[in-house]
Amino acid sequence: MHSAFQRINTLSAFSVSVLTALAIGCFLTSYMYSPNANPEVDVRLLQLRTIFYFDQSVDVAALTFDLHADFSSVMNWSTHVVFIYLTAEYETQNNRVNQVVVWDKILQQGDNPVLNYKEQPGKYGLFDDGTGLRGNKNVTLSLHWNVIPLIGSLPRFSGGHRQVSFPQQDSL
């Protein structure tokens, strides 16, 4: 006859084995879908100014954008959170790559997965560490999203690339 401790040990070892097999199955099924949001982004420059920040001239830009994206295919049983952000990427004489986040949103399970914004202002200002925005003809704004699952890989996607040009002088 087995003691109560041996029975509890056997039951807990079996339970852990079953839960491990389920977790591995969940992890493997996270690779079976390909989320596609097909975002459409349109950007407008509201304001470009040069300000003095710690005895240095820096460019500051304010943007608005239109965004339409359907994240329904991203939201599945394993999706916990989708972190969505809009970045501006450009090149200057001082830095080969400048990447600045101008807007972000956290989409949780149960939220409306369809984003439809008109004239949405940027959450964060677009600051350059010099005057690299002024007259820059090659600023690319892109929408990125990170899928944070309950279990599985942490994929990162991007889309909705839009190239904009900045004026040579200050705008109001």
Give CA–CA dist 119/126, Å, rounded. Answer: 17
Name the DSSP letter for residue 75. Answer: -
Q: Which two tokens stand for residue 99?
A: 């990447």
Same domain? For 77 and 13 the reply is no
Cβ atoms of residues 47 and 62 within 8 Å: yes
pLDDT at residue number 172: 59
CATH code of the domain in which 79 resides: 2.60.40
Given a contact cutoff of 8 angstroms between Cβ atoms, the answer to whether 116 and 67 are in contact is yes
Q: Which domain holds residue 108?
A: 35-164
Mean pLDDT by 10 residues, the chain (172 residues): 89 95 81 73 75 80 87 84 92 87 92 90 85 83 89 82 80 63
Tell me the one-letter amino acid at 83. Answer: F
Domain shared by 135 and 81, yes or no: yes
Q: Is residue 27 domain-shared with residue 106, that is, in the same domain?
A: no
* pTM recorded for the entire structure: 0.80
d(CA 88, CA 122): 11
Number of domains in the chain: 2
Domain annotation covers residue 171:
no
Residues 44 and 19 in one domain: no
What pLDDT is stored for residue 34 in this prediction? 67
- Which residue from 170, 144, 172 is spatially nearest to 50, judged by alpha carbons? 170
Query: How confident is the model at residue 85, as a pLDDT?
Result: 94
Report d(CA 135, CA 93) in Å as an integer.
13
Residue 138 included in any domain: yes
Phi/psi for 19 (5° steps) reads -65, -35
Question: What is the per-residue pLDDT for 11?
Answer: 94
